[in-house]
Amino acid sequence: MRGEPGPRPLSATLGLTLASALVWGLAHLRAGRRTAGVVLLSVYGTLLAVGTAAATVLRPEALGLLARPGRLAGVAVATVLAGLWWAALIVASYRVLRPSPLTGVRHALARGVVGLMCAAVLLPSFYAARLAYVGREVVTTVFAERGAAADADPWRGRHRVNILLLGADAAPSRPGARTDSMSVAAVDTRSGRTVLFSLPRNLQHVPMPEGPARRMFPFGFTGDGIPGRPALLNEVYQWAEDHPAMVPGVPAGRRGPELLKRTIGGILGLPIDYYAMVDMKGFARIVDATGGVTVTVKHDIPYGLEGGVLRAGTRRLSGQEALWFGRSRSDGDDYIRMGRQRCLLDAMARQADPFTVLRSFERLADAAKRYISTDIPQESLPAFIALSSKIKDARLESVQFVPPLINTAAPDWALIREKVSAATGAPPASAHRARGDRDAGDARSPEPSPGPTTPFPAEQVPLNASCN
């Protein structure tokens, strides 16, 4: 029997329509259309189970699948179609319930309520499609496309991936950019354990990697050789950009990162696989996009050029305040500043909850496209997303090569490599054995298995650290 005899009150019809919008098929079952109702309810249950699994147990895998431009474009189209289909189902549910004949105000009210229900499912689907489109733009703009087939497990045979993290800054008083923040995250691909090696910007006499740079600076980097002003590690990036012959065959915009990867790889005795760099203007934009960052400041810090002060205490900093907080040297030296920068990044990572990221997604995406650069390929994004879930649950440790451990004017390069080896548990590497110096080896060749080295007591970064 199809349908029920007699009219149904408008309030009951709209209530059942709403219920069917929330749980597909209820209206059809109530109207006696059992086959259609069971089919709709089964589809709803299946989609709900798949969505729950994707959001919980399979979340890294689901996010990894979405980190591909083609799939993101498909998601944008699919969400729009799903919204249209859902709205059509709401209208069909209302019609199948056969309300009593309506005229005038009651008819307009019914149409308005059903229209609101349709809008309630269409607007989120259109917004989700917009986010998918913006995400696709970020992936294609920021991450390199190498055209290689994605490896199901790019970490197979690799115990560690090493990523150079850079914070670049430019000033009106000088051309180009300086990489004032330089750290290498050495990530264990099996456990997610991460050791962060921080290098001060003012390291002098930096040994250069084999090739044109070593031939020009056989006794360490001297830059322009200006009398009385030693060349520092933070100048290598711009030097490479300004001197194409130092990194032959590498295009502008990539020369600086490439030479710096090889240089820092030689210093640490680690092959640097990838880099990621954020312009400090972009850092301020990212902080503002998320509504600020909360940190605990132990001591007052002079702020700005007009006598402002960042007062001690737990406070929420704007992007400009956070940028000054991370850059200021007026209350200490480079090494105090390095500690604040590390703690500031940690605070941002802890406070970047999914709701905040979703709410600010478009502004974050705009800042990422304009101020972040990396050579991590698009094909590796799913693997990095899966690895990030391990990193979140593992230890994060820090080693800073600052005085008194290291004299920045006359660094002990062998000691640095020994400390890196002890902290990672890997055998010591010879100087300059960076990824760019391997003439015939595959950049993805397996690293030696960790030896019986006693781990160096790296500082474990506390999650509630103060930032001063």
What's the Cα-to-Cα distance from 115 to each of 20, 123, 327, 367, rounded to whole Å? 15, 12, 53, 37
Q: Band of the pLDDT at 448, cuts 50, 70, 90? A: very low
Average pLDDT in the 236-253 region? 92
Q: How far apart are CA 450 and CA 159, in angstroms?
A: 9
On whether both 335 and 454 belong to a single domain, the answer is yes
On whether both 111 and 223 belong to a single domain, the answer is no
Dihedrals φ, ψ of 374, to 5°?
Answer: -160, 160
Between 324 and 127, residue with greater pLDDT: 127
Instruction: Put residue 32 in one of left, alpha, beta given phi > 0 → left and psi -120 to 50 → alpha.
Output: left
On whether both 63 and 126 belong to a single domain, the answer is yes
On whether both 106 and 72 belong to a single domain, the answer is yes
Q: Band of the pLDDT at 186, cuts 50, 70, 90? A: very high
Dihedrals φ, ψ of 130, to 5°?
Answer: -65, -45
Residue type at 397 in one-letter notation? E
Asked whether residue 154 is assigned to any structural domain, the reply reads no
Q: How far apart are CA 468 and CA 359, in angstroms?
A: 30
Residue 93 has pLDDT above 90, yes or no: yes
Dihedrals φ, ψ of 293, to 5°?
Answer: -135, 135
Return the pLDDT at 6.
54
Total domains in the fold of the chain: 2
Contact 320, 310 (CB under 8 A): no
Q: Band of the pLDDT at 114, cuts 50, 70, 90? A: very high
On whether both 227 and 282 belong to a single domain, the answer is yes
Asked whether residue 263 is assigned to any structural domain, the reply reads yes
Tens-place pLDDT, residues 358-368: 778 888 888 88
Average pLDDT in the 117-131 region? 93
**Token pair recorded at residue 352:** 């970047």
Residue 224 has pLDDT above 50, yes or no: yes
For 59, the domain range is 10-142
Return the pLDDT at 291.
85
Task: With residue 112 as reference, give the H or E element that holds it.
Answer: helix 104-142
Q: How far apart are CA 176 and CA 171, in angstroms?
A: 8
- Bridge partners of residue 161, in order along the sequence: 187
Contact 413, 207 (CB under 8 A): yes
On whether both 170 and 214 belong to a single domain, the answer is yes
Asked whether residue 151 is assigned to any structural domain, the reply reads no
Average pLDDT in the 261-271 region? 96
Nearest alpha-carbon partner for 309 in 319, 299, 318: 299
On whether both 138 and 171 belong to a single domain, the answer is no
On whether both 246 and 285 belong to a single domain, the answer is yes
What is the Rg, in whole angstroms, of the alpha carbon atoms belonging to the chain?
28
On whether both 289 and 351 belong to a single domain, the answer is yes
Q: Cβ-count burial of 52 within 10 angstroms (0-12 exposed, 13-18 middle, 19+ buried)?
A: exposed
Return the pLDDT at 86.
94
Last residue of a domain, one of 142, 168, 198: 142
Average pLDDT in the 246-265 region? 93
On whether both 285 and 427 belong to a single domain, the answer is yes
Contact 325, 295 (CB under 8 A): yes
Asked whether residue 168 is assigned to any structural domain, the reply reads yes
Asked whether residue 2 is assigned to any structural domain, the reply reads no
Return the pLDDT at 56.
67
On whether both 100 and 207 belong to a single domain, the answer is no
Between 30 and 328, residue with greater pLDDT: 30
Asked whether residue 66 is assigned to any structural domain, the reply reads yes
Last residue of a domain, one of 142, 172, 198: 142
What is the Cα 406 distance to its own chain's centre? 31
**Token pair recorded at residue 138:** 């970020």
Q: How far apart are CA 3 and CA 33, in angstroms?
A: 7
Question: Per the confidence metrics, is the pTM higher than 0.95?
Answer: no
Cis peptide before 404 (omega within 30 of 0): yes
Q: How far apart are CA 20 and CA 41, in angstroms?
A: 9
On whether both 434 and 294 belong to a single domain, the answer is yes
Return the pLDDT at 402.
87
Asked whether residue 258 is assigned to any structural domain, the reply reads yes
Beta strands (DSSP E) in 301-454 are: 301-303, 308-310, 313-317, 372-374, 396-400
What is the Cα 187 distance to its own chain's centre? 15
Q: Band of the pLDDT at 1, cuts 50, 70, 90? A: very low
351: CATH: 3.40.630.190
Q: How far apart are CA 84 and CA 119, in angstroms?
A: 10
Return the pLDDT at 354.
67
Q: How far apart are CA 204 and CA 232, in angstroms?
A: 5
Contact 195, 180 (CB under 8 A): no
Q: How far apart are CA 247 and CA 261, in angstroms?
A: 12
Last residue of a domain, one of 142, 170, 197: 142
Asked whether residue 354 is assigned to any structural domain, the reply reads yes
Return the pLDDT at 40.
93
**Token pair recorded at residue 94:** 């209302």
Residue type at 463 in one-letter notation? L
Return the pLDDT at 183.
93
